[in-house]
Amino acid sequence: MEPKLVNFGSSLPVPCVQELVKEPLTAVPPRYVRPDQDPPFISNTTSSPQVPVIDLIRLLSGDSMESELEKFHYACQKWGFFQLINHGVSTSLVEKMKVEIHEFFKEPMEEKKKYRQQTGDIEGYGQTFVKSEEQKLDWADMFHIITLPTHLRKPHLLPNLPLPLRDTMEAYSMELKNLAMKILNLIAKALRMEPNDMKELFDEGMQAMLLSSTLVTFWRL
């Protein structure tokens, strides 16, 4: 029996931003103007709470593990997120990923259309979760893809991506999975859980990436 693929819903087709900017525009198209959002708040003070910074090397080092683990536990409990430094993911791999995604978005439209979202799906080339023709849009082109576990991959997407992006994404995906499991195991340690509990719960968890012409986002469920 073939595995059942995951579907998160559908998204309406939208204009390609990279094609829009080729036109002689005199103003930003109305669908991309966001008066509903407050202007960014910029503070010039140092009194605001700072996002916790967690050092993975210290978390894995015998001498500093306990103090860093306490800090890590506090960040998870009180903040729900943190900045991770010395995470061990190759800097050259991260930069290679950025460069090759940038090259992907520079491909001709006919080439990118090979990976466009299919009817009733949000994976592929095109903005996600667009439900109406009046909905405000992000000023970016996007590519959403499930990378792990491998049996959830859509056959027309990652397996067909051009080289070297395909191999780079494979390597990046595994690096992030390994890092995610390290973090989950440390959460288990902070919570006094059994070491293998997180592995049993999340080792086959879903990993997805949302790539855009401006950034790369990764998440794991």
Q: What is the mean pLDDT of residues 46-67?
A: 88
**In which band, very low, low, confident or very high, does the pLDDT at 9 lie, cut at 50, 70 and 90?**
confident
Instruction: Please tell me the pTM assigned to this model.
Output: 0.83
Q: Is the pLDDT of residue 59 over 90?
A: yes
Residue % of the chain over a pLDDT of 70? 88
- Cβ–Cβ under 8 Å, residues 92 and 175: no
pLDDT at 1: 43
- Cβ–Cβ under 8 Å, residues 153 and 159: yes
Residues 189-206: pLDDT tens digits? 888 888 788 888 888 889
Residue % of the chain over a pLDDT of 90? 57
pLDDT at 166: 96
Q: What is the mean pLDDT of residues 128-132?
A: 89
Q: What is d(CA 173, CA 134) in angstroms, rounded to the nearest whole number?
A: 35
- Cβ–Cβ under 8 Å, residues 109 and 16: yes
Rounded to a whole number of angstroms, the CA Rg of the chain reads: 20
User: At 23, phi and psi to the nearest 5?
Assistant: -85, 155
The larger pLDDT score, comparing residue 8 to residue 148, is at 148
pLDDT at 53: 96
pLDDT at 24: 86
Q: Is the pLDDT of residue 140 over 50?
A: yes
- Cβ–Cβ under 8 Å, residues 191 and 76: no
pLDDT at 215: 59
